């Protein structure tokens, strides 16, 4: 039986709320931290909508939905995480912000065996881990959106991560969360985004060049390659700001032109057209 039962999530946006839901549905004592009452209210609403959809689609029962809520606690202060055995940071994909959160958590967590996990999509875990005093206890635990539905988790070890810690977290993700776990070396983009993001950027460049409309690019990959979603629809779902941040991290590490964010992507992020979460990206998502 895995020993991790008290968990926490810092940041309850699209990804953080999903991770918190995964934890709560697994029967774990889950503390969710966000900055301010409005952010906490938005987090509750995200989780509530997701759990209701799960019931409507038959993925969970009404009783399980109620039980999940019983395992959730919401807090503004990171001190509420002091007794946690594992905490996942799921804040904005910004190295400085993530490092600051992990550094604070390092001071807050009482248990020196507690694991600090980052849900970063691309930032090398070693760089984040060394900002704490427990680099051996820091891992990358990268969930995919939407976390309650997507079965995959990437487990990333830094150059400092203790092998026992890595095995402990892998067992937890598999046996308690029911996730399919793949391991990755600590490289920008890890496994999935190192393969996926160049494909998304190629689709952006195709639209930018006017070779095809976003609708036709997506239709081509859905109906011609049997993809469940087109690349620009997927970029909108991920969030264009997140796609840009991942691409930037990968380009900074490898200097490969295929990783460089196209100008159109940068302009859309500057304009606040971030995809589904803002109602508009390459497609309109009003009312979704």
Of 213, 214, 220, the C-alpha closest to 233 is: 214
Count of CA atoms in the C-beta half-sphere (13 A) of 234 = 21
Marked catalytic residue, from 50, 154, 170, 249: 154
Q: Is 61 a catalytic residue?
A: no
**Is residue 157 among the annotated active site residues?**
no
Cα gap 88→261, rounded to integer Å? 27
Could you confirm whether 154 is annotated as catalytic? yes
Question: Pick the catalytic residue: 34, 50, 119, 121?
Answer: 121
Q: Which of 71, 89, 119, 142 is catalytic?
A: 142
Q: Respond yes or no: is residue 121 known to be catalytic.
A: yes
Residues whose CB falls within 8 Å of the CB of residue 125, separated by 6 or more in sequence, listed in order: 118, 138, 139, 140, 156, 157, 158, 161, 186
Question: What residues are labeled active site?
Answer: 121, 142, 154, 193
């Amino acid at each position: 039986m895995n020993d991790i039962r008290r968990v926490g999530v810092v940041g309850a946006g699209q990804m953080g709320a999903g991770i918190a839901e995964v934890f709560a549905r697994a029967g774990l004592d889950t503390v969710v931290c966000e900055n301010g009452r409005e952010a906490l209210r938005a987090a509750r609403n995200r989780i509530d909508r997701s759990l209701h959809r799960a019931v409507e689609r038959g993925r969970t029962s009404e009783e399980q939905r109620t039980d999940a809520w019983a395992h959730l606690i919401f807090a503004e202060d990171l001190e509420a995480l002091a007794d946690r055995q594992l905490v996942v940071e799921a804040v904005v994909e910004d190295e400085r912000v993530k490092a600051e959160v992990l550094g604070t958590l390092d001071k807050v967590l009482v248990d020196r065996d507690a694991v600090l996990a980052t849900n970063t999509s691309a930032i090398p875990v070693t760089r984040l881990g060394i900002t704490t005093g427990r680099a051996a206890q820091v891992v990358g635990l990268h969930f995919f959106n939407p976390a309650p539905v997507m079965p995959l988790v990437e487990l990333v070890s830094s150059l400092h991560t203790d092998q026992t810690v890595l095995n402990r977290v892998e067992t937890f993700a598999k046996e308690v969360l029911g996730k399919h776990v793949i391991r990755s070396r600590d490289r920008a983009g890890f496994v999935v985004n190192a393969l996926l993001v160049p494909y998304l950027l190629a689709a952006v460049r195709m639209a930018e060049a006017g070779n095809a409309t976003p609708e036709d690019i997506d239709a081509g990959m859905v109906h011609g390659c049997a993809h469940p979603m087109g690349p620009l629809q997927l970029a909108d779902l991920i969030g264009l700001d997140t796609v840009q941040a991942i691409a930037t991290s990968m380009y900074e590490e490898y200097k490969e032109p295929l990783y460089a964010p196209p100008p159109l992507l940068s302009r859309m992020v500057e304009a606040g057209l971030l995809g589904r979460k803002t109602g508009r990206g390459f497609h309109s998502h009003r009312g979704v």
